[in-house]
Every structure is written in structure tokens, then in C-alpha cells.
Structure 1
Amino acid sequence: MQFHTNGFIPGDPDVSVAAPDHRRAGDPLPETVDVLIAGSGPAGLCLAAQLARVPQIHTMLVEPKLGPMEKGQADGISVRTMEMFQAFGFADKVKRESVWINETTFWNPGTDANLRRVARVQDVPDGISEMPHILINQARVHDLFMDIMRNAPTRLEPDYGLKVRDLKIDPNAQEFPVTVTLEHTAPGREGQTATVRANYVIGCDGARSNVRNAIGGALHGDAAHQAWGVIDLLAVTNFPDWRKKSFVRSKDEGILMVLPREGGHLVRLYVEMDRLGENERVADRGMGANDIIAKAQRILAPFTLDVKEVVWSSIYEIGHRLTDKFDDVPEDQVRTRSPRVMLAGDACHTHSPKAGQGMNVSMGDTFNMGWKLISVLTGRADPSLLHSYSGERRAAAKGLVEFDHKWARVVGAKSEEDITDEGLPRVAREFVNNLPFTCGLTIQYEPSALTGAATHQHLATGFDIGKRLHSAPVIRLADAKPMHLGHCIEADARFHLFLFAPAGDAGTAGGTVAALCDWLENDPASPVRRHTKPGEDVDAVIDTRAVFQQEFRALDYGDMPSLLRPRVGRYGLCDYEKVFCVDAKLGEDIFTMRGIDRAAGCMVIVRPDQYVGHILPLQARDALTNYFSAILRVRG
């Protein structure tokens, strides 16, 4: 983390200087905003946290509830989402507060009908990520995003007690084309309305989304007609795996899942309840927390479960649904119109919680969207960039819905259908096979303007083009700090260009890296020059860093090209954090770990959302220019 760039800043470095002329929550409603976000769940807050950091963007976040969430709802955070949290700066805090899921166990009835542990599986495969799979109260995730918002230059906070009732789009208007009707929900003001005009509206308002309805969208899919109960409780039990993630299948009473929660004592149970009729809803049964507890006690028998306190509970029906499109532009108008209204999270995809992906994919939606909105609203990119959001995220959501449908059937299969193979029950075997998916690491964006072809994938086989950057350990040259390369990526809407040096290159004049850096910094044809405004820091849009094959004592920081020792901020201070070496001390060589061609080296372009956009040879200057020209406007 860097601060003092523009002068000494005392106190908490996470608190930015407040920008002038920004509205505060509770002030009179504005006439116009750049972005109006409907819903302060994980998707809405993830987007708001990104936008809040950009002073020139005016954002409004409306939430029909009257205050922030305190308990309940989702709890699982995948390793991919933890990598995203690292970009926001609060992954370490989450790791400290949360419970880590290290092992998952599976229980089945034996021949005497008593439960026995039949399998135990490592929950996160070795080497798949530097991050753990964790569980934490969704409300704490909200808190951490809102901390960023409150401390950002715009001091953004949700406007509680407001929801989007309807909206209308004027496709011919250039400024503020979306007129939004807001409805008050606070006692004494129910039904009162007001209007706000926006450049963009983002529907993060859940499965019954009014934003989706307003643009003619609908969720399509099916329901399993199976009621499930979820309950957070404090209890005394002799079940031995109470602090491990566990799948428990009884002989006659169905199944439950045990999910330990943060704090050392809290546990969440997902409990299979009753089958529902074709036209029956969960509410028709009138079930509550006591029914969930009684069913859990029967499933766990002969183990005992003495519930001391119920913190939260809910009963729901499994559904798997997906909307047609994630924005307002009809297919036949894509070439002539750019999106003005977009959907994220449950507003465009719903699924069961058993795979633990709902909150994660919802935040992934708006992490994808955020940098694109920032790029458009700050003039770096054309509004047509926003078409890529629907294309990329609908494909990701479709994969999730299809996986969740299959996984729900595996988890819900009856004992006699649970065919074993080499000692593993079917659910355990499928769990192992699906670990990369449940870790959130299988999303791969198709080739497009943002994702290059795999022509040069052989130069770095461990950085899959279209997938998230798989970080690896390095040593920072200037201060010999051991760290992960991916941790220098922040949620700041910048592209990252990593130069992996060829063998023997020490960054000195006449070498491949030095020549490329000189071109990037000084040639008008380079993307750094073309897409950076005069007066901006040289890394304001494209952040260039280099990784060398030597250990850090073999290199001289003073020999590095000036692009890798840039002068930044109002004082022109040197940025010392652009050059890295392999971690020879621990033997963790990033070139070996990620299959980087040692003789040739390569360039790896990483998008602002941590996904690998392209891999190119170090000599491919035209291809590098063409990649960025297809995304960013010329501003140099």
C-alpha cells in the first residue's frame, strides 16, 4: 500500500481526503447522478466501493431496508473472492476474523444404520491459490465494503428506505437518459415517490428485481420442489466434526450440511426438509426454526444436538434460474446503442446455496463491471465497452446455474443412489472433481477485444489467458520484500503489464526489457503514451512492472529503466515498487511455477479485474498497441 505520494498524510492511510461537492446520504435527493445502484447486497456494495474511490463519479446507492444487515444470508467466500478482497485491501482482515475450511468430511449410515465417517477431503487443493476458503457472516462483508465507501473521497453511504419502483430510458438522450422512480419504504413515508435521472442504473435488487422487470427481463429455469432449512445456532453436541464442513446423510431422514462459522462456536446447518407439491410454496407449510432443529436432530442421531440459541433461520426452495440478458439493449440494437441499465447478482441469476457460489459470483459480476464503468465515465474508454459485461458475466452465470443444478441433484440423491467408487461415496467423489469450480477458478472469458487468442500461451503456460492471474511468490527488488506478485494489483481500474525478462537480462541499457521500457515510455505509438492524459502519472492507466530471473542481490535497482522507477505524484517522488525477482531463498521460482519461457520471456497483460487479458512476446509491440487500442481511447 502506498500513501504520502502527494504529501505527508497523518493518521489512518485508509481514510482519503474528502472530495468537495459530493452529496451525503440523508441529504435531499439529487436531480441527477452518474450511477444509481439499486440494492446494497454484496453485488451493489462491491460496485459502490469501486466507484466511491473516483471523485469525479457521482454515485447513489438505494436500499429498501431501513439499515444495514446484521446476520443471516450467505456465508461462504471462495478463494477467488479472497483474491478479489486482496485487491480491495481487506483480505488479511477477513482471514483473521473468519473460519477457514481446511477439510470436508462425509458421513453415511452404516449397516447398523448408525452414522459413520466415510471420507475426508482436503477442501482447497495444494497450489491452487495462496488464499483459503473461508466462512464469515455476509454482514461483515457488507461492513468491509462500506468502510471503503465511507473512507473514500466521495464518502459514499447507502440511502436506506428507498427502492426503485420503475424506470424509463430515453435512448436518444446523451446525458442522464434513465429516469428512475424511487419509492420510500420508511414508516410514515411508504409509497411516496421521487425521481432521479441517471447516466447508468445497476440493478442489484435481488431475484424479484424491479430494475429487471423495468427493462423487460425475466428469470427462466426450474425449481426442485424441495424445501431446505438454514439455521445459524449455538449448540452443544457430541458430533465429532462440528468444526469441519460436513455432509451428513441419514438412512431415512435425509441429509444436512454442517458449516462452522466464525468465532469458534457458531455453526450453520443446511437441512433437507419436505418435498413440495408442484404448485406448493415453502410458506404454505408454515415451518420454522423448531422444525429445522427437530429434523437436524433426527438426521444426526444417535449423536445429540442441544440447541442453546438460534441466531437466524430461514426456509427456502431450491431454484435454478437465469435471465436472458444482463443489460437493456436488444440484440438487434447492439451495434447502435450502448447499455444504460445493467443487472448483477440475484437480479439475473439464482441458484441453491449448497455450492457456496451465490454471493461470490454476484460480487464477481460487479468486479467485472466496476472498472468498465469507471473507464467509460472518466473518458478512458468508449461506452461500447459496457457490452462486454453482459457477454462475459452471463456466460459465467450460465456455467454456475448448470453446475448448481447438477450439484443439487448429487447432494439430494437418496442413499441407495449413492454408488461408491474406490471407497468414496458419490457426493465425495463429485466434490473432489468440482473443487476448482467451487474455488471459483474455472471462469475463462472467451476471446474478444478484452481477451486475446491463445497464440502465445506457450510463453506462460501457468497464466491461462481469460482466467484470473494465478499469483506466485516474488521478491521486490528495492526493499527485498517477499510478497505475491498478484498482490500489487489493486481495485483501481488500471491495466497491469508484467514484463517477464529473458534469461540473462538484468534490466540494464541495451537489454530487451530496457529497450521495451524506453519504447513504452517515450514512443508516441506506445499504449502508455497513447492512452495516458498529459499531466497524469505514467502508470495512471497502464501499470508496467518487471520480473527478473536473478535473485535480488544480483541486480542493481539503479540500473533499471526509468519506466520501472517512475516519478509520481505532485512532488515527482520515485515509485520503488515496480521491479521483482524470483524468490531464490525459498526456492519459489515464479518462472518455473507458472511455466514462463526462460529463454524468451514474455509480456502478460492483466485486466483491472485480475483476469489475464493477453500473453505476447516481448518484441510484439504492434500487437500490444492493438490490444489496448481496441479497449481504450487515445488521450495522449
Structure 2
Amino acid sequence: MQFHLNGFKPGNYQVPDAARKPNPIPPIQDLPSEVDVLIIGTGPAGLTMARQMSEFADIKTCIVDMAPGPLLFGRADGISCRTIEIMEAFNSSEMVVKETYHLMQNTFWEPDAANPKNIKRTHKIADARAGLSEFTHGIVNQARLHELLLDGMSNSITNLRPHYSRELVDMQIDESLTLDLNAHPITATFKRTDDAVADLVETVNARFVVGSDGGRSRVRKSLGITLEGDTANKAWGVMDILLNTDFPDIRVKSFIQSKDHGAVMTIPREGGYLIRFYVEMDQMHQGTRASDIKVTEQDLIAKAQKIFHPYILDVKEVAWWSIYSVGQRLADRFDNRPAGSSDDIIPRVFVSGDACHTHSPKGGWGLNTSLPDTFNLGWKIAAVLQGKSEPKLLDTYSTERRKVARQLIDADRELSKLVATRPSAGGASDEAKVDTAKIEAFMKRQSGFVSGTSIEYFPSYICTGQENQHLATGYKIGQRFHSAEATRVADGRSQHLGHLVKADGRWRVFLFGGAQNPIDTTSAAYQFIDFLANSISSPVLKYTPKGLDIDAVIDTYAVFQQRDLSMHDLHGYLWPTKGKYGLRDYEKVFHGQDGNDVYDLRGIDRSSGCVVIVRPDQHIASILPVTSHAEVSKFFEVFMIGQT
């Protein structure tokens, strides 16, 4: 898709440039006085949390922000493979894939040895993230991703919409009520910031609060949570521009190092014309903020033009620009519980995204780490509020996501050193040189982390069964369920198995059958299905409330090696009756594909098969033998609540 030809215009890219207009600022409505979940901040983390909560009609959610309306432009632009997988869970990946600019190559430029005042390409390589997912790393305006999440919220069963122009001025927690899940122990006070009713105060009582309100988070400060780590000592300018140039790699991601003027990183943007420039600035004095640096977009352009010599940069329009500083800081805790709290203390307030981890934007990790923060948290809060899971499930958010944030901080610190001139732009050339070979090696080594596909949670009661990893070596316990295609038995359609795991709070059980025919009632696969369908110990029967569909809590799918199966010969649990009329669901059984077989792709034991339990956030919770009926029951018993 091509757009922005005659100037940058934010909004829905499905609307032609000439007709596209930003969404109008929504009308202001009163805040509710009492909610189950209060979300503060409408960045990627806040909107992802709200998008999940919008799926649950029995959970009352409110999301607020200081801004007068939705984001229009700027900020993050990189959309990782894993983020698009999450958007698929919200049924929005098709639009993301269609509109993003796919990064397929990287180039590296250094001073020309024959004429050091000029830059010269040293090499061009394929992007290291290729092949890690069915999706490709892409570039799109963060505001467009926000818009897709907002549309999903608005069109959900709850018709959830943000409340803008609200500034959090105070938050109090009544500690005497935190162990009572039915209580609303948190009182949040907001001040209206719109011109119509400035300074009007509103109060919201909540059962849970999620602070996704950025690097200067008031939620974090109200909890006394500190950010630990390095303060910024380097500034970079960032700008999205429309330009004409004779630089040959303008539509390829490029790392450019000059002899005397510092470095630039360029990223081609969506639409075919827009380009993002990261321009290296000078060292910052201790205590200086990026906002204190007195430069203009023209200063950034002038410096970039020097770095690109002998190539011409004729900038026609600056769509957005800013100055940011590089600093890596991590919150000492991700919820309101004091350090060292016992397991019986229920966390009631959480921080996510930039509110608990800050870093530079060059690695593209901000949005792509913030969004999975609340994708991890949302289903857990929903399960506790709905009485499906024990409150201790909430403890796992901080444990799992703080580990990821620590990895992010370490990786960003390393990358920031690699792409920044040392000790400062304009220093001696032997000290100022950026080693592009080391950048290339870093990107290859960190490709799984950069893409989000290798994020792995520690072993716990919701990441267990490591002793059975050999049964499916390509499904790493703790990592996301790596999708692969299979053929649906009922109609022969090819289906990505990972796309079956939607963000609806349900657990998934994938049965990969062994060598025995699943029609044979003595086969391990048939016996496992019969156990789920009929056993008094079945977690499906134990945790599904009476009157709901059989897959309302635990959704089961089967993949078999046999190709000549008929749905009507299989156990009835695999094509269950559902809904108002008891209609049959024919979309739960698959077999492998020639030349692209999931058993081969994911290292599944063909003789015995296996059972893969997948969490609502698409991460693999456990791998078990098909014969391990009792172990499947024990897995869910640890944290789920039986339904009557």
C-alpha cells in the first residue's frame, strides 16, 4: 500500500489520502463511580489491557488518559513478529500485515577509506528475524495500531471506549480490604483537564488498577516504586520525514556512521515514502533532560545532511520530530505488594509498559514489550474476577514480566553502546568509529528476543512439564505456541494452529496423536479424549460452569497423523454440540500436511504423540504424555477453582 504522497496524514489507511481525516476528539462522558478494573494510560500497554477486558461482559472496565484524544502520530513504529501474533489473537493481524512496511534487509555504511569525508556501504544482509514467525517484522505508525485496538474495544460486547482529559491526582489503597475480592479497596481521584470543565474532580473506586501511564507514571510514584538503573547520558533526535535523496538504500533499514559527525539509523516507514531518522546528538551533562536540549528539526536535518555526505537529503516535510535520551531503568517491583510479601497478599495495583521499564527506542522494544506486559496480565485478572482461578495467579505477572524487562534493559544497554559514537560525535575518528560488524552480530544473536518469539517464562505451576520437552522439541515450554499449518479434517482447509488461540481468556489443549488410529477405542488418543469428555477427574468438566458450552473454559483441539479420517468416526467430544441450537463444531480436528508437517516442524514424537497445554496468552504451559490423565488434572488443580 502507498500513502502520504502529498504529505503525511494520520488516520485510517484504508481511506485514500485525499479523503483521510484524523478521528475527531470523542465527547467527554462522566467517569463511573465504581469499576472492576481501572486502567490508567492509553498507550500500547493500556489499550491491550482494555482490549482484553472488553471481551468480558461481566467485568466492568474503565480506561482513562490525560491526553485530549487518541494518539495521531509519532512515537514507536516497529511492530515485531510477536506483536502481530498478539494482534491475531484480537482478530486484527490482517490489517497490520496489509499496512505495515516489511523490513527485509539491513545495510551498514561507514567512512570511505579512500575519502573518509564520504560514507560507503560495507554490506547488505537479510533481516535476521526472517522465518521466526508466520508474520514479518514491520513498520507502522503506533497511532494506527492504537486505532485497531480502539476499534476492537468499541465493537466488543462491552462497547468499551476511553475517557480522555483526565489527570490522576491521587490514589489510595485501603489495605484492610485488599484480601476481600468483592471489595473495591482502591480510590483514584482525577482532575478534568479539558477547557469546558477545567479542574472538575471525579473519583473512581476500583477492585484492580493497572498503571500504564508512561515513564513518569503517577501510579508507580503513588505506590512508592522506584526505577533503578542508569540515567541518560546521550541524546538522539528522531524525525519522520518525506524527502528526495540519491542515497541508494533509503527504503532499507540502514546503520550509517560518519567520520566526524556521528551516526544515523534510518527506517523506511509504511506507505512507501515516509522515512524515520534517528540522529545522534552529543553527550548530555548529568541531570540534563532531553527536553532541555535547545535544537529544532532544522538542526536535525542539517546534522543528518553532514552525516550522509556525499548524498543529498532534500527534506520536503517533517511529519513529526522529537529529542529523546538513552537511559535504561527498571522498576524494583511491578505491583503494590511490598518486597518480600507472603503469597497470601493479593496484588491490587499493577504497573506495565514504560511505567516499569524505560529504555531507548532504537531496538524497537518499547511498544513490543509494553503490549505483551498486559497481554500477560489481562487474562489473569479476568480469571480471578470471574472466579475461575485463585488470586495467587496474579503473583505470576511480576515474576514473568520483570524477567523479560531485565533482559530488555540488558539488551538495550548493549545496543545503545554499539550504535552510539564514542566518546562523542566529533571526537577522534579511531575512538568515534561504530563497529557495524558488532551491530550485525548483535542483531543475529538477539533476533529471537528482538522479534519477541524467544521470550520465555521461568518454570512455575503455569510453566511446567519440562521433563517431557523431548516429546515436542519445537514447542519450548514457557515460550509462545509457535504456529504451524495443519489441514482441517472436516473440509480440507489449511489452518494456522496458533491462530486458534484467541484473546478470550480460554485455555487450549492440543492433542497430537501418536501412531495408533484415533478411531480405535483402545488408542491413547481416544482414551485421552474420552477422559476429558467423561471422567469425573476431567478438568473440562470440573471447571466449566453448568449451562456453558463444553469449550467455554478449556478449548480442545486434536491433530492426527492419519489422513483418511472422517469426523463422524471420531469421539463426539471432538465435534461437540454448542450454542442455542446445539449445532456441531467441525473445526477442532486436523491432520498434518505434505512437506510442511507440524510433527516434523515442531519435533513431535510420532510414535507416542503428546499433549500441549497453551495458556490464554499463547505461551506453552505444559507438555505431557497422552496417557498422563492424572497429570493433566493436577496441572489445573493448582490454580483453578471448581465450578458448580
Shorter-chain TM range is over 0.9
Distance in 1 separating the partners of 2:430 and 2:549 = 65
- Residue among 510, 519, 533 paired with 2:522: 510
**Quick check: 1:505–1:512 contact (8 Å CA) kept in 2?**
no
**In the alignment, which residue of structure 1 is the partner of 2:351?**
343
| 1:229 has 2:237 as partner | yes
- The letter of the residue matching 1:326 is F
Matches within 5 A, 1:39-50: 39-50=41-52
- Indicate whether 1:626 and 2:619 are aligned: no
Offset at residue 511 of structure 1 (A): 2.1
**Correspondence 1:278 to 2:286:** yes
Pairing 1:142-541 to 2, within 5 Å after superposition: 142-173=146-177, 174=180, 175-414=183-422, 416=430, 425-541=437-553
Aligned-partner Cα distance in 1 for 2:431–2:491: 59
Counterparts of residues 26-175 of structure 1 (less than 5 Å): 26-111=28-113, 112-113=115-116, 114-173=118-177, 174=180, 175=183
1:571 deviation in Å?
Answer: 1.1
Deviations 1:397-424 (A, max 9, x none): 1110111011110111446369999xx7
Q: Aligned letter for 1:130?
A: E
Distance 1:475 1:416 in 2: 58
Matches of 2:555 and 2:233, distance apart in 1 = 50
Q: Give the deviation of 1:373 after TM superposition.
A: 1.0
Q: Deviations over 1:310-367 (max 9, x none)?
A: 1000001111011011000113433231111000000000000011010010000000
- 2:3 aligned residue: none
Contact 2:268 2:275 in 1 (8 A): yes
Equivalent residues of 1:502, 1:600 under 8 A apart? yes
Gaps of 5+ in 1: 1-23
SS of structure 2 residue aligned to 1:159: coil
Residues 105-127 of structure 1, C-alpha deviation per residue, up to 9 Å, x if partnerless? 11111211121111222214453
Q: Which residue of 1 aligns with 2:593?
A: 583
In the TM superposition, residue 199 of structure 1 has moved relative to its aligned partner by: 0.3
Aligned to 2:9: none
Matched, 1:603 2:603: no
Q: 1:456 & 1:628 partners in 2: Cα distance? A: 17
1: CA distance, partners of 2:30 / 2:71 = 24
SS at match of 2:376: helix
Cα distance, 1:537–1:250 mapped onto 2, change above 3 Å: same
8 Å Cα contact 2:172/2:187 also seen in 1:
yes
Q: Which amino acid aligns with 2:109?
A: W
CA contact (8 A) 1:456 1:617 kept: yes
Instruction: Write the deviation string for residues 154-204 of structure 1: whole angstroms up to 9, x where unpaired.
Output: 111110111222211112223111011112111253333221100001000
Residues 1:223 and 1:507: Cα distance change in structure 2 (over 3 Å): farther
Return closer, same or farther for 1:583/1:303 CA change in 2, 3 Å cut-off. same
Q: Which moved more, 1:117-126 or 1:393-402?
A: 117-126
The 2-side partners of 1:328 and 1:394 are apart by 14
RMSD value, Cα: 1.6
- The secondary structure found in structure 2 opposite 1:290 is helix
Instruction: Tell me if the contact between 2:560 and 2:590 (Cα under 8 Å) persists in the aligned partners.
Output: yes
- TM-score calculated relative to the size of structure 2: 0.92
Deviation at 1:383? 1.7
Range 234-243 or range 435-444, more displaced: 435-444
Rounded Cα–Cα distance in structure 2 between residues aligned with 1:323 and 1:467: 23
Deviations 1:496-520 (A, max 9, x none): 1000000132444332211111110
Could you tell me the TM-score, scaled by structure 1's length? 0.93
Maintained 8 Å contact 1:496/1:606: yes
Separation in 1, partners of 2:77, 2:340: 40
Contact conserved, 2:506 with 2:616, CA < 8 A, in 1?
Answer: yes
Task: Return the alpha-carbon distance in structure 1 between the equivalents of residues 206 and 374 of structure 2.
Answer: 18
Deviation at 1:274, TM superposition (A): 1.7
Structure 2 vs 1, CA of residues 419 and 472 (structure 1 numbering), >3 Å: closer, same or farther?
farther
Partner SS state of residue 425, structure 1: helix
Question: Could you say what secondary structure the match of 2:475 adopts?
Answer: coil
Q: What is aligned with 1:562?
A: 572
Structure 1 residue 369: Cα displacement: 0.5
One-letter amino acid matched to 1:425? A
CA distance in 1, matches of 2:446, 2:260: 27
Counterpart code for 2:633 = T
**Contact 1:66 / 1:186 at 8 angstroms: preserved in 2?**
yes
**Alignment check: 8 A CA contact 2:63 2:163 kept:** yes
Alpha carbons 2:104, 2:130 under 8 Å: kept: no
Using the TM superposition, name which of 622-631 and 501-510 deviates more. 501-510
Aligned-partner Cα distance in 2 for 1:276–1:419: 19
Q: CA deviation at 1:224?
A: 3.8
In 2, the alpha carbon distance for the partners of 1:182 and 1:283 equals 26
Determine the C-alpha separation between the residues in 2 that align with 1:141 and 1:525.
43
- How far apart are the structure 1 equivalents of 2:293 and 2:130? 44
Between the aligned partners of 2:499 and 2:433, the Cα distance in structure 1 is 43
- Counterpart contact for 1:25–1:157, Cα < 8 Å: no
Query: What amino acid is the match of 1:362?
Result: S
Deviations 1:527-569 (A, max 9, x none): 1111111111111111110001123xx1111111111101111
CA distance in 2, matches of 1:265, 1:346: 30
Q: CA shift at 1:63, angstroms?
A: 0.8
Q: CA deviation at 1:476?
A: 1.0
Separation (CA, whole Å) in 2 of partners of 1:81 and 1:194: 35
Q: Match of 1:331, SS?
A: coil
Q: Structure 2 CA distance, aligned partners of 1:541 and 1:199?
A: 23
Deviation at residue 523 of structure 1 after TM alignment: 1.0
Residue pair 2:609, 2:625 contacting (<8 A) in 1 also: yes
- Work out whether residues 508 and 559 of structure 1, in 8 Å CA contact, stay in contact via their aligned partners in 2: no
The match for 1:10 is none
Whether the 8 Å CA contact 1:248–1:255 is kept in 2: the answer is yes
User: 2: distance between equivalents of 1:417 and 1:494?
Assistant: 55
Q: Is the 8 A contact 2:252 2:267 kept in 1?
A: yes
- In structure 1, give the amino acid aligned to 2:74: G
Aligned partner letter, 1:566: P
Deviation per residue, 1:558-592 (Å, 9 max, x gap): 111111101111111111110011012xx101101
Q: Is the 8 A contact 1:457 1:465 kept in 2?
A: yes
Q: CA deviation at 1:25?
A: 7.5
